[in-house]
Amino acid sequence: MKQNLRIALLMTLLTTVLFGLLYPLAVTGLGQLLFPSQANGGLIVKNGQIIGSRLIGQPFSSDRYFHGRPSAAGNGYDPVSPGGGASNLGPTNRQLMDRVKGDAEKLHAENPGSPVPVDLVTTSGSGLDPDISPAAAEFQIPRIARARHVSEAELRSLVAKHTLGRQLGVLGEPRVNVLELNLELNAQHPLSK
95-121 pLDDT, tens per residue? 888 888 888 889 888 888 889 999 998
Tell me, what's the pLDDT at 111?
84
One-letter amino acid for residue 191 of the chain = L
Task: Give the distance, in angstroms, between the CA of residue 114 and the centroid of all CA atoms in the same chain.
Answer: 24
pTM for the whole structure: 0.78
Question: For 163, phi and psi rounded to 5 degrees?
Answer: -80, 125
- HSE-up of residue 118 (Cα within 13 Å, Cβ side): 1
> To 10 degrees, what angle do helices 134-148 and 178-188 make?
30
Tell me, what's the pLDDT at 124?
78
Give yes or no for residue 1 having a pLDDT over 80.
yes
Give the gyration radius of the chain's Cα atoms.
Answer: 22
Measured distance CA(178)–CA(174) in Å, rounded: 13
Q: 1: helix, coil or strand?
A: coil
Mean pLDDT of 137-159: 93
The string of DSSP letters for 109-150 reads: HHSTTSPPPGGGTS--SSS---EE-HHHHHHHHHHHHHHHT-
On the 0-12 / 13-18 / 19+ scale of CB atoms within 10 A, 86 is middle
Give yes or no for residue 21 having a pLDDT over 90.
yes
CA proximity to 39, closest of 26, 28, 51: 28
DSSP character for 172?
Answer: S
Q: Are 67 and 178 in contact (CB under 8 A)?
A: yes
